[in-house]
Chains A and B, each alone.
Chain A
Protein backbone atom coordinates (compact mmCIF):
# COMPACT_ATOMS: atom_id res chain seq x y z
CA UNK A 1 0.00 0.00 0.00
CA UNK A 2 1.00 3.62 -0.41
CA UNK A 3 3.07 4.63 2.58
CA UNK A 4 5.21 7.52 3.75
CA UNK A 5 7.47 7.21 6.79
CA UNK A 6 9.29 10.22 8.23
CA UNK A 7 12.38 10.09 10.38
CA UNK A 8 15.06 12.33 11.78
CA UNK A 9 13.17 14.44 14.28
CA UNK A 10 14.53 15.26 17.71
CA UNK A 11 15.51 17.88 20.24
CA UNK A 12 17.94 20.52 19.00
CA UNK A 13 19.20 23.90 20.15
CA UNK A 14 18.37 27.18 18.41
CA UNK A 15 20.73 27.99 15.57
CA UNK A 16 21.61 24.39 14.84
CA UNK A 17 20.66 22.12 11.94
CA UNK A 18 18.61 18.98 11.46
CA UNK A 19 17.81 16.81 8.46
CA UNK A 20 14.48 15.04 8.10
CA UNK A 21 13.87 12.19 5.72
CA UNK A 22 10.72 10.63 4.31
CA UNK A 23 10.75 7.14 2.79
CA UNK A 24 8.04 6.38 0.24
CA UNK A 25 6.73 3.01 -0.86
CA UNK A 26 3.82 1.50 -2.74
CA UNK A 27 3.73 3.95 -5.64
CA UNK A 28 5.89 5.33 -8.46
CA UNK A 29 7.69 7.94 -6.38
CA UNK A 30 9.30 9.71 -9.33
CA UNK A 31 5.89 10.56 -10.75
CA UNK A 32 4.72 12.85 -7.96
CA UNK A 33 5.67 16.16 -6.38
CA UNK A 34 6.29 15.86 -2.66
CA UNK A 35 5.62 18.29 0.18
CA UNK A 36 6.60 18.97 3.75
CA UNK A 37 3.89 20.39 6.02
CA UNK A 38 4.32 21.19 9.69
CA UNK A 39 2.08 21.59 12.71
CA UNK A 40 3.20 23.41 15.84
CA UNK A 41 1.89 21.96 19.11
CA UNK A 42 -1.83 22.67 19.41
CA UNK A 43 -1.84 24.71 16.21
CA UNK A 44 -3.00 24.31 12.62
CA UNK A 45 -1.25 23.07 9.51
CA UNK A 46 1.44 25.16 7.82
CA UNK A 47 2.74 24.31 4.38
CA UNK A 48 6.56 24.33 4.32
CA UNK A 49 7.95 23.27 0.94
CA UNK A 50 7.32 21.38 -2.30
CA UNK A 51 9.62 19.68 -4.76
CA UNK A 52 8.44 18.67 -8.24
CA UNK A 53 8.67 15.09 -9.43
CA UNK A 54 12.10 15.53 -10.99
CA UNK A 55 13.53 17.88 -8.42
CA UNK A 56 13.75 21.19 -10.23
CA UNK A 57 12.42 24.51 -8.91
CA UNK A 58 11.66 23.88 -5.29
CA UNK A 59 9.29 26.30 -3.51
CA UNK A 60 9.15 27.35 0.11
CA UNK A 61 6.97 29.17 2.60
CA UNK A 62 8.33 32.62 3.43
CA UNK A 63 8.86 31.53 7.04
CA UNK A 64 11.53 28.98 6.05
CA UNK A 65 12.93 30.40 2.81
CA UNK A 66 16.70 30.62 2.89
CA UNK A 67 16.95 28.29 5.91
CA UNK A 68 15.32 25.06 4.73
CA UNK A 69 16.12 22.99 1.64
CA UNK A 70 13.92 20.26 0.22
CA UNK A 71 15.53 17.57 -1.92
CA UNK A 72 14.67 14.16 -3.27
CA UNK A 73 16.36 11.00 -4.47
CA UNK A 74 14.14 9.19 -6.94
CA UNK A 75 16.50 6.18 -6.96
CA UNK A 76 15.98 5.70 -3.22
CA UNK A 77 12.35 6.94 -3.06
CA UNK A 78 13.15 9.50 -0.43
CA UNK A 79 12.47 13.19 0.12
CA UNK A 80 14.52 15.14 2.66
CA UNK A 81 14.21 18.45 4.45
CA UNK A 82 17.46 20.08 5.51
CA UNK A 83 16.70 22.60 8.24
CA UNK A 84 19.38 25.14 9.14
CA UNK A 85 19.43 28.05 11.58
CA UNK A 86 16.58 26.51 13.51
CA UNK A 87 14.41 28.78 15.63
CA UNK A 88 12.14 28.17 18.59
CA UNK A 89 9.15 28.72 16.30
CA UNK A 90 10.21 25.82 14.07
CA UNK A 91 9.10 23.43 16.81
CA UNK A 92 6.45 21.25 15.20
CA UNK A 93 5.47 17.86 13.91
CA UNK A 94 6.73 17.67 10.34
CA UNK A 95 4.71 15.66 7.85
CA UNK A 96 5.66 14.63 4.36
CA UNK A 97 2.81 14.26 1.90
CA UNK A 98 2.38 13.21 -1.70
CA UNK A 99 0.91 15.70 -4.13
CA UNK A 100 -1.71 13.79 -6.05
CA UNK A 101 -1.21 16.17 -8.99
CA UNK A 102 -3.72 16.80 -11.72
CA UNK A 103 -6.92 14.78 -11.90
CA UNK A 104 -8.45 16.10 -15.07
CA UNK A 105 -8.74 19.84 -14.51
CA UNK A 106 -8.49 19.53 -10.74
CA UNK A 107 -5.57 19.66 -8.37
CA UNK A 108 -5.95 16.43 -6.43
CA UNK A 109 -4.65 17.60 -3.05
CA UNK A 110 -2.15 15.97 -0.71
CA UNK A 111 -2.65 12.26 -0.17
CA UNK A 112 -1.41 10.33 1.69
CA UNK A 113 0.48 11.86 4.58
CA UNK A 114 3.11 10.25 6.74
CA UNK A 115 2.67 9.88 10.49
CA UNK A 116 4.95 12.84 11.18
CA UNK A 117 8.19 13.40 13.05
CA UNK A 118 8.54 15.81 15.95
CA UNK A 119 11.17 18.53 15.90
CA UNK A 120 11.70 20.41 19.15
CA UNK A 121 13.90 23.48 19.14
CA UNK A 122 14.80 24.47 22.66
CA UNK A 123 17.75 25.74 24.64
Chain B
Protein backbone atom coordinates (compact mmCIF):
# COMPACT_ATOMS: atom_id res chain seq x y z
CA UNK B 1 0.00 0.00 0.00
CA UNK B 2 1.29 3.46 -0.93
CA UNK B 3 0.21 6.49 1.07
CA UNK B 4 0.22 9.79 -0.81
CA UNK B 5 0.00 12.99 1.19
CA UNK B 6 -1.11 16.31 -0.22
CA UNK B 7 -0.26 19.03 -0.55
CA UNK B 8 3.49 18.66 -0.31
CA UNK B 9 3.72 22.08 1.29
CA UNK B 10 0.93 24.11 2.83
CA UNK B 11 1.48 27.81 3.54
CA UNK B 12 -0.90 29.28 6.10
CA UNK B 13 -0.99 31.89 8.83
CA UNK B 14 -1.48 31.46 12.58
CA UNK B 15 -5.19 31.25 13.30
CA UNK B 16 -5.98 29.63 9.94
CA UNK B 17 -7.52 26.21 9.51
CA UNK B 18 -5.26 23.52 8.03
CA UNK B 19 -6.49 20.49 6.12
CA UNK B 20 -3.95 17.79 5.27
CA UNK B 21 -4.77 14.78 3.12
CA UNK B 22 -3.51 11.20 3.13
CA UNK B 23 -4.69 8.97 0.30
CA UNK B 24 -4.04 5.23 0.19
CA UNK B 25 -3.52 3.23 -2.99
CA UNK B 26 -6.01 0.67 -1.68
CA UNK B 27 -8.49 0.55 1.15
CA UNK B 28 -6.99 0.83 4.62
CA UNK B 29 -8.69 0.05 7.90
CA UNK B 30 -9.29 3.31 9.74
CA UNK B 31 -8.45 1.39 12.91
CA UNK B 32 -4.85 1.22 11.72
CA UNK B 33 -4.15 4.79 10.51
CA UNK B 34 -1.97 7.17 12.54
CA UNK B 35 -0.68 10.73 12.16
CA UNK B 36 2.61 12.19 13.45
CA UNK B 37 4.10 15.65 13.78
CA UNK B 38 7.81 16.29 13.35
CA UNK B 39 9.52 19.58 14.10
CA UNK B 40 13.03 20.37 12.80
CA UNK B 41 15.71 18.50 14.68
CA UNK B 42 13.19 16.53 16.70
CA UNK B 43 11.81 13.01 16.65
CA UNK B 44 8.27 12.48 15.39
CA UNK B 45 5.41 12.74 17.88
CA UNK B 46 2.23 10.69 17.73
CA UNK B 47 -0.84 12.88 17.23
CA UNK B 48 -3.68 10.62 16.13
CA UNK B 49 -4.33 6.87 16.05
CA UNK B 50 -7.31 4.93 14.78
CA UNK B 51 -7.70 7.71 12.20
CA UNK B 52 -9.53 9.98 14.65
CA UNK B 53 -8.44 9.40 18.26
CA UNK B 54 -6.07 11.97 19.72
CA UNK B 55 -3.05 10.61 21.54
CA UNK B 56 -2.46 11.57 25.15
CA UNK B 57 -1.77 15.28 25.62
CA UNK B 58 -2.63 16.32 22.06
CA UNK B 59 -4.69 19.55 21.93
CA UNK B 60 -8.25 19.31 20.68
CA UNK B 61 -7.53 21.65 17.78
CA UNK B 62 -6.09 18.53 16.11
CA UNK B 63 -8.65 16.16 14.61
CA UNK B 64 -8.53 13.24 12.24
CA UNK B 65 -11.15 11.73 10.00
CA UNK B 66 -11.63 9.49 7.03
CA UNK B 67 -12.10 5.93 5.92
CA UNK B 68 -11.29 3.61 3.06
CA UNK B 69 -8.64 5.35 0.99
CA UNK B 70 -9.06 8.98 2.09
CA UNK B 71 -7.97 10.36 5.43
CA UNK B 72 -7.66 13.91 6.70
CA UNK B 73 -5.83 15.66 9.50
CA UNK B 74 -7.39 19.00 10.42
CA UNK B 75 -5.91 21.68 12.65
CA UNK B 76 -8.77 23.99 13.49
CA UNK B 77 -6.81 27.12 14.41
CA UNK B 78 -3.09 27.12 13.77
CA UNK B 79 -0.84 27.93 16.66
CA UNK B 80 2.73 29.07 15.86
CA UNK B 81 4.02 25.80 17.34
CA UNK B 82 2.00 23.76 14.81
CA UNK B 83 4.23 24.63 11.87
CA UNK B 84 6.01 21.36 11.20
CA UNK B 85 5.98 18.30 8.94
CA UNK B 86 3.09 15.86 9.28
CA UNK B 87 3.14 12.19 8.32
CA UNK B 88 0.41 9.60 8.06
CA UNK B 89 1.17 5.92 8.65
CA UNK B 90 -0.79 2.76 8.17
CA UNK B 91 -0.37 -0.65 9.74
CA UNK B 92 -1.13 -3.64 7.59
CA UNK B 93 -1.15 -7.20 8.82
CA UNK B 94 -0.17 -10.56 7.33
CA UNK B 95 2.71 -9.86 7.10
CA UNK B 96 2.97 -6.73 9.17
CA UNK B 97 3.88 -3.58 7.26
CA UNK B 98 4.05 -0.02 8.52
CA UNK B 99 3.98 2.40 5.62
CA UNK B 100 4.48 6.16 5.94
CA UNK B 101 3.27 8.85 3.62
CA UNK B 102 5.90 11.20 2.24
CA UNK B 103 4.84 14.04 4.53
CA UNK B 104 3.22 17.46 4.30
CA UNK B 105 5.21 20.50 5.37
CA UNK B 106 3.07 23.12 7.06
CA UNK B 107 4.86 26.45 6.83
CA UNK B 108 4.10 29.98 7.95
CA UNK B 109 2.78 32.19 5.17
Contact = CB atoms under 8 A, between A and B. Distances in A.
Given A95-B44, A113-B44, A106 B53 contact: yes
A101 B31 CA distance: 12
Contact of A45 (B31, B45, B91, B100): B100
Interface string B4-35: 00000000000000000000000000011010
Contact of A110 (B38, B89, B97, B103): B89
Given A103-B50, A107-B91, A35 B100 contact: no
B43 A45 contact: no
Contacts of A114: 43
Contacts of A97: 44
B20 to A, nearest CB: 14
A106 B31 contact: yes
Contact of A106 (B36, B50, B85): B50
A31 interface: no
Contacts of A103: 49-50, 53
Given A45-B103, A59-B96, A107 B32 contact: yes
A4 to B, nearest CB: 9
Main secondary structure on chain A at its contact with chain B? strand
B43 A105 contact: no
A107 B50 contact: yes
Closest 4 CB pairs between A and B? A106-B50, A109-B34, A111-B46, A113-B43
22 contacts: A35-B98, A37-B44, A44-B87, A44-B100, A47-B89, A47-B98, A47-B100, A59-B96, A95-B43, A100-B46, A103-B53, A105-B31, A105-B50, A106-B32, A107-B34, A107-B49, A107-B50, A108-B34, A110-B36, A111-B45, A111-B46, A113-B43
Given A106-B53, A110-B98, 5 more contacts: A109-B36, A109-B46, A109-B55, A110-B34, A113-B45
